[in-house]
Amino acid sequence: MKNECIPQRISKFALGLMLLGAAMGLVVIGVTLLPIIGLIAAIPVAALGIYFFRVHLNDQCEIDFSSD
């Protein structure tokens, strides 16, 4: 059963990495070009990235939004 969900787990991990990468890009933009806006925009993007790392998959290999 656990081996059936590998593509979904990889997708979840890749999405989390992409969001954290986007947050890092916004931090760089915030430091160099737009000091306030870039740093403020990086916070919710980083939170989404961390959320996708922590989210669980249910039995049908989909993201389970319920808090158990």
Per-residue pLDDT of the chain (68 residues; tens, 9 = 90+): 556 778 888 888 899 999 999 999 999 988 888 888 888 889 999 999 998 888 877 767 777 666 55
pLDDT of residue 43: 92
pLDDT of res. 45: 93
The residue type of 41 is: A
Instruction: Quote the pLDDT of residue 67.
Output: 58
Q: How far is CA 12 from CA 23, 28, 49, in A?
A: 17, 25, 10
Distances (CA, A) of 35 to 15, 29, 42, 45: 26, 7, 11, 16
pLDDT at 21 (0 to 100): 95
Q: What is the pLDDT of residue 2?
A: 56
Domain boundaries, the chain: 2-64
Residues 52 and 19: beta-carbon distance below 8 Å: yes
